[in-house]
Structure 1
Amino acid sequence: MNLKPRQPLWLMLLLLLHWPALLQAAEPLPSWRDGAARSAILSFVEQVTSQGSKQFVPAEQRIAVFDNDGTLWSEQPAYFQLLFAFDEIKRMAPEHPEWKDQQPFKAVLENDQKTLAAGGMDSLLKIVGATHTGISTETFIGRAKAWLAKARHPKSGKPYSEMIYQPMHELLDYLRSQDFKTYIVSGGDTAFMRAFAEEVYGIPPEQVIGSSFITAYQVVDGKPQVLRTAKIAHNDDGPGKPESIDAIIGRRPILAFGNSDGDLQMLQWTAAGDGPRFMGLVHHTDAAREWAYDRDSKVGRLDKALDEAKRQDWTIVDMAADWARVFPFEATSK
């Protein structure tokens, strides 16, 4: 009697070790709860990637764009790039003793939030100018990476690179597995986001689009470098987003995700194209695991875009209801 040989022990161990990954591959978006948002995403991707489908989109046209702050990672209690700038002022202070008596630097050094708030945008621009310009792009990215390596979020105590949304990270991976090309299109500084985007999101530098400063080529001590000047080249917020998509990507996206009024024009631009389109908004409704805010928030205000999403039947992701897990360091909840 011929008996089939048993599976080798090493093969069984290999299967056990990789079983979680195999399950995730079999079931996309595991941190998303079953519901309208998850179903809408899966249905859209299936339609545009299935050969023979009337909605089929060739791989080269599968462009997906994502805002960063509040869409891919948290933006509370303040935009992380701004917190970086504050920390840079404190780090640089010994080289600038005059800052002890100059606003808004004095307010940063003394943690005077009231004075900073009163200074408005002018104060923030001075802080950003002092910490983001007058240096080469390489130097700036190096400083951003050094900060990300040691800085911790004031609420969670976790590195800022871990304050990413696990469900959105899964969405990026899922789209790429279906031959989508994923881009970041954000109001944040391009170089700041390039300091972490590839490692954290798997999005390479050339697919990161943000606000930028006018740069100047120069040679210092025989070494060529690109200097970041204090003049703003492009504000990648609001209408600046479709403008930069048109100029840099050259294709209208078929999928766009945002979370605030600053993303409205990007979503409208995506929706206005021919063929199948997906527009999504992350709605921050979870005060327990993250924050709950929308129309009255000074950070990531979601008002006009929320109304437009409801009128146009775009997909609104309710963070509290649609996500079984918010951050990667959290346990999955039912």
Structure 2
Amino acid sequence: MTLTGSRVRGFALAVAVSLVLGCASSEEPRAKEASAGAEVEAAVDPLPSWNETATKAKIIEFVEAVTNADSPSYVPPDARIATFDNDGTLWVEKPAYTELLFALDRVRALAQVHPEWKTQEPFRAVIEGDRDALVAAGPHGLIEVLMASHTGMSAALFETIATEWIRDARHPELEKPYTELKYQPQLELLRYLEANGFKTFIVSGGSVEFIRTFADPTYGIPRERVIGSSIETRYEVQAGKPSLLRLPEVDFVDDKSGKPVGIHKHIGQRPILAFGNSDGDFEMLEYTTLGSGGERLGLLLHHDDAEREYAYDRESKIGKLDRALDAAGSAGWVVVSMKDDWNTVFAEE
């Protein structure tokens, strides 16, 4: 298989740590929009799983400002773009990224047609559950696992395999389907933003083809609004039918500085709201909020609730929140405390 230097290392490092997730035409329609939004908010709490804290007030204040036609912060609907990280922001990412667990399961399933893997690292380590050996294999070993599990098949077949895995897999510690481990407060925020004319996107370091299989049924975000890492894909005709073949080469890594690039390529404009949870989201929040250009909001979910989920930040090997946490104050980013700001965590509670 072909491995391309820096891009492969970047993609591997992005997941390796888990081994240790239209303008209004006139003033009148704009006024009607603001009035309708106010009536909806007055009738029902749009964020019932959020506690009545300064964080919730800030979010509502921001949405009201950018949707009020009489506000100097008004933003037309076609510019109301909101981007959300996936792992650790929309659903659980501990003890390991969901897609990595999928890759490990896939390698085990393929082992029956690859007898040589029983003595070949890092595949032996995966098959036998030798976590120490898998960690010792490092980024290069991990990329071998990812390429073996994600490539050498059509895009359609990969989607079928990933869809079935998401349907059947259970979280190794919480023992629930991953689709039940989405965060209820975030679902409410997505719906609240959409009800106020926002278009929401997932921007993740995970692979775009994997996330597309569950984004819509899990979060209500359609597949065309998923931005993620990708591998090289080749078009060909097989048995008279068009096919897209997934190749063992990295195309794009949508993590850290890759997130603003991915946003620019796929959306073509800066978001006015970005929500992440780790240092991997630093550049996305910076790209969203830095400099002039009207009202903007950056948010970071702080996992500080060991009782209801997990507590981790600066020293974590997955979802590390250190640099971004330090920068939040001066950057004006809102740090959302899972413990203090959410009265409910999971949607299926």
User: Normalization by structure 2: what TM-score?
Assistant: 0.87
CA contact (8 A) 1:286 1:292 kept: yes
Q: Structure 2: how far apart are the matches of 1:142 and 1:53?
A: 47
Q: Residue in 2 aligned with 1:210?
A: 228
Instruction: Indicate yes or no: 2:329 matched with 1:310.
Output: yes
The aligned runs of 1:320-331 (5 Å cut-off) are 320-330=339-349
1:56 to partner: Cα distance: 0.5
1:25 to partner: Cα distance: 6.7
Q: Residue in 2 aligned with 1:91?
A: 109
The aligned runs of 1:92-241 (5 Å cut-off) are 92-241=110-259
2:298 equivalent among 279, 283, 290: 279
What amino acid maps onto 2:193 in structure 1? Answer: L
| 1:227-272: CA deviation from partner (whole Å, max 9, x where unpaired) | 1111111100000000111111001100000001110001000012
What amino acid maps onto 1:46 in structure 2? Answer: E
Corresponding residue SS for 1:276: coil
Describe the shift of the 1:188–1:64 C-alpha distance in structure 2 as closer, same or farther (beyond 3 A).
Answer: same
2:311 equivalent among 289, 292, 307: 292
Q: Structure 2: how far apart are the matches of 1:94 and 1:287?
A: 39
Instruction: Indicate yes or no: 2:78 matched with 1:60.
Output: yes
Q: Structure 2: how far apart are the matches of 1:24 and 1:89?
A: 52
C-alpha RMSD over aligned residues: 1.4
Q: Residue in 1 aligned with 2:19?
A: none
Instruction: Indicate yes or no: 2:69 matched with 1:51.
Output: yes
Q: Structure 2: how far apart are the matches of 1:30 and 1:178?
A: 17
CA contact (8 A) 1:216 1:229 kept: yes
CA contact (8 A) 1:295 1:302 kept: yes
1:329 to partner: Cα distance: 2.0
Q: Structure 2: how far apart are the matches of 1:192 and 1:218?
A: 21
Q: Structure 1: how far apart are the matches of 2:276 and 2:235?
A: 34
Q: Structure 2: how far apart are the matches of 1:311 and 1:259?
A: 17
What amino acid maps onto 1:70 in structure 2? Answer: G
Q: Residue in 2 aligned with 1:71?
A: 89
Corresponding residue SS for 1:218: strand
1:310 to partner: Cα distance: 2.0
Q: Structure 2: how far apart are the matches of 1:316 and 1:108?
A: 37
1:313 to partner: Cα distance: 2.4
What amino acid maps onto 2:295 in structure 1? Answer: P
Q: Structure 2: how far apart are the matches of 1:312 and 1:36?
A: 17
Q: Structure 2: how far apart are the matches of 1:263 and 1:282?
A: 11
CA contact (8 A) 1:64 1:255 kept: yes
Q: Structure 1: how far apart are the matches of 2:141 and 2:59?
A: 41
1:41 to partner: Cα distance: 0.5
CA contact (8 A) 1:24 1:30 kept: no
1:24 to partner: Cα distance: 11
Q: Structure 1: how far apart are the matches of 2:88 and 2:193?
A: 19
Q: Structure 1: how far apart are the matches of 2:276 and 2:308?
A: 20
Q: Residue in 2 aligned with 1:5?
A: none
Q: Residue in 2 aligned with 1:11?
A: none
Runs (4+) of structure 1 exceeding 4 A deviation are 22-25
User: Normalization by structure 1: what TM-score?
Assistant: 0.90
Corresponding residue SS for 1:228: strand
| 1:201-235: CA deviation from partner (whole Å, max 9, x where unpaired) | 11111100000011100111111111111111110
| 1:25-59: CA deviation from partner (whole Å, max 9, x where unpaired) | 71111111110111111000000001111111000
1:94 to partner: Cα distance: 0.7
Instruction: Indicate yes or no: 2:279 matched with 1:261.
Output: yes
Describe the shift of the 1:165–1:241 C-alpha distance in structure 2 as closer, same or farther (beyond 3 A).
Answer: same
What amino acid maps onto 2:60 in structure 1? Answer: L
CA contact (8 A) 1:144 1:192 kept: yes
